[in-house]
Homo-oligomer: A and B are copies of this chain.
Amino acid sequence: MSVDQPGSILCFGEVLLRLSAERGTKLVNAQRFDAHIGGSEANVGALLAQLGHSVQMVTVLARSSLGHQCEAELRRVGIGTSHSVRAEGRQGLYFLEGGGAAGRIIYDRGGSAFAQNANLLDWSALVGHASWFHLSGIDLALGDIAAEAALDAVKTMASAGVAISFDVNHRASLWEGRSKSELARVRDVMALTDYLFASPRDLARTLGCEIAQATQSAFGTFDRLTLIASTQRLLQQQRLSVRIATREQAHETNGASLGCVVDRIGSGDAFAGAVIDGILRGASLEECANFGLAAAISKHGIAGDRWIGTREELESFNPFSPGDVRR
Contact = CB atoms under 8 A, between A and B. Distances in A.
Interface in A211-260: 233, 235-236, 238, 257, 259-260
A31 B27 contact: no
Contact of A301 (B32, B76, B102, B325): B102
A77 interface: yes
Interface string A1-34: 1000000000000000001001111111111111
B68 A90 contact: no
A324 to B, nearest CB: 6
A52 interface: no
Contacts of A309: 26, 28
A103 B30 CA distance: 23
Copies in the complex: 6
Nearest to A170: B327
A323 B30 contact: no
B173 A327 contact: yes
A321 interface: yes
Contact of A30 (B30, B35, B172, B325): B35
A28 B72 contact: yes
Given A28-B308, A262-B24, A264-B325, A72 B77 contact: yes
A119 interface: no
A326 interface: yes
Interface in A37-62: none
A225 to B, nearest CB: 27
Nearest to A64: B106
Interface in A259-316: 259-265, 301-304, 308-310
A95 interface: yes
Interface of A: 1, 19, 22-35, 64-66, 68-69, 72-73, 75-78, 81, 90, 93, 95, 97-108, 110-111, 171-174, 233, 235-236, 238, 257, 259-265, 301-304, 308-310, 320-327
19 contacts: A19-B19, A24-B262, A24-B303, A26-B309, A28-B68, A29-B304, A32-B32, A65-B106, A72-B76, A72-B77, A90-B110, A98-B325, A100-B301, A101-B260, A103-B325, A104-B325, A236-B257, A260-B261, A265-B325
